[in-house]
Structure 1
Amino acid sequence: MTDSASGLICPKCEQPLIANGKQWQCPNRHSYDTAKQGYINLLLVNQKKSKNPGDDADMVRARTDFLDTGIYAPISDALNAMVAADGVILDIGCGEGYYTERLQTHVPQASVIGLDISREAIKGACRRSKDITWLVASGARPPVSAGTVDTIISLFTPLMPPGLNHALSDKGEIITVNTGPRHLMQLRELIYDDVRNEGFVPTAKMVDAGFECIEERVVTYTATVAGGEPLLALFNMTPHRWKVKPERVEKLLSVDSLTLEIDVVLHRFRRQTDTQ
C-alpha cells in the first residue's frame, strides 16, 4: 500500500482512515479491510445499484486481453503527456488498470490512486501493479480528503464534477478522455443498421461546474484488429455488448480482420479564475 493511502477518508462519516495492519479504521470506528489482492473496499451498500456493480469478470478479461495488445497505447501516451504535475493522481473509473499503471510508470514520483466501482476490475488492476493504491469505491464522492488530489483522470467514464471538485486541490487539474464522433465506426457499421457520428464533449458540463478548458488534444489513427477472439474482446469491452443482437455477434466472428478508426478527444480543465 502506498503513502497516498494516508489521505483516504471513511465513506460513511468522511473522517480520516488510519491503517492498523490490513485494517483501516476511522475515529468513529468504521472499519474496512485490505483484501488479499491488495485493494481496499470502500464501497457502501447504499452506493450500489446492483449486487456486483460495474464490469463483470468477462468484461474485465476482455478489456485486459484487448488493451494488452497495445492498440490503445497512443491514447495512453497522449494522456500521460497531458499530466502536468506529479503529487497525488486519482484515476476515476480506472477499470482493470491499464492506463493507470502506464501513467504511474510515466510519473513514478507521483502517488497514484486507482478507483472503480467494480470489484472484479480492481482485482485485475491489482495484478498490474503493487505500487498503486487500488480502491473499490464510488466515483460520485471519492473517499479522499478534501483538496488533496493534484490531478484527476476521468477516462471513458461519466462525469461527476461535484465529487471531483471536492477532492481537487486549489490548483489541481481534471483530464478527461472521451470518444470522438468516428471512434470504432467500422465496428459499429458491422453491428448496427443505422450508424451515426457520435461522441461526447464534456466542456459545457465542466463549465457549468466551474471549470475552464485549458487544453484539447485529438488522437486519431487507424488500427487493424484480427478477427476471432481479438475482435470479440474489443466488442466485449464496449457498451455495444449490451445492445447488440446475438446474430450480429456471429457476424463479427466471421470477419478475418477489421481496420478501425480510433478517434479520441482529451481535455484538460482547471477551476475558472475570477476575472472581475
Structure 2
Amino acid sequence: MCQCEEDKIPSSPYKEIFLEFQHELDFKYDKHERLVKLSRDCTIQSKRVIFALHRISGNEALKGRILSEARKKISSEILCLLQGIILENEKKDPRKHHTAFSPGLQEFIEAIAFLTFLSKRRLVTMEEVQSYLTFKVQQESFLCEPTGAQLGSEEAILCLPLDPVDYVLGIADLTGELMRLCINAVGCGDRELPFNMLTFMRATYSGFLSLRSIGKEMGRKTSVLKSSLMKVERVCYTLKIRGSEIPEHLLVRAIATDTDNNVDDYSL
C-alpha cells in the first residue's frame, strides 16, 4: 500500500495497529522471496558442480584437476550463497522460512556428497556438511570459508543448523548421480566401477529402509533411490552374464535398453 492510499484511510484507533501488521507481513514476504532466490541460485550452481564432476568418467588423468575446480567453485560461489541464507536467518528461527531455502540446501548436499564419494569413496557425514554451513566472520568482512581456525578476539561464528531431513533427502538424490556415473563408466570401458558402486548403493538403500517415513517427499525419493539401485543391478547383470557375448561398441546401448525397459520387471 502506497503512502497516498494510507492517507485515505479514515483515522481510527485501529489504523496504526493494522498498518503495523501490514509492514510486518511485507517484511516477512520480502525475506521469503530473498531466500527463495538464494536457494534457486544455490541449486543452479550445485547442479553445475555435479555436471562438472561427471566429466571424470573416462578422464582419470584429469580427475585431480576436476575435483580441484569443483572445490574452488563451491568455495567461491556456493558458500557465499549459503552465507547469504544464514545472514537472512540470523537471530531468527530458521524453521520459519525453511521451505524457502530447503531445495537449494538439498541440492548442495547432493553436490558435496558426490564430490566426497568421488574423492574418498565414502558417504559424506552430517558433521562434514554442517561444517560447510558454519562460517568464521571477522567484524563486517564475511569470509566464504568453512571454519577451521581458532577464533580471535574480533571473530565470531555464523551457523545454519542442518536439518536431518535435508541431509537425508540430499543423500537420496546422490544415488541418481551414482547410477549415471555407472553407465558413463561402462561407456568409457570401466567394467569394475558398477560392481564397486553396487555395494555402496545397496548399503544406502538398506539405511533408508530403516528410516521412518517422513512425509510424501521421503517416500518419493526412496522410490527413486530404489529405481536407481535396480538400474545399477541391471548394469551389473548385463556385464556379468551378457558382457562376453555383446561387442564392446554395442554394450552401452544394450545396457541402456535393459535399464529403460526391464527395470520395472526386476525386483530386489
Tell me the TM-score normalised to structure 1 length. 0.27
Higher relative contact order (CA 8 A, sep 6+): 1
Tell me the TM-score normalised to structure 2 length. 0.27
Rg (Cα) greater in structure: 2
Which of the pair is proportionally richer in helix?
2
Which of the pair is proportionally richer in strand?
1
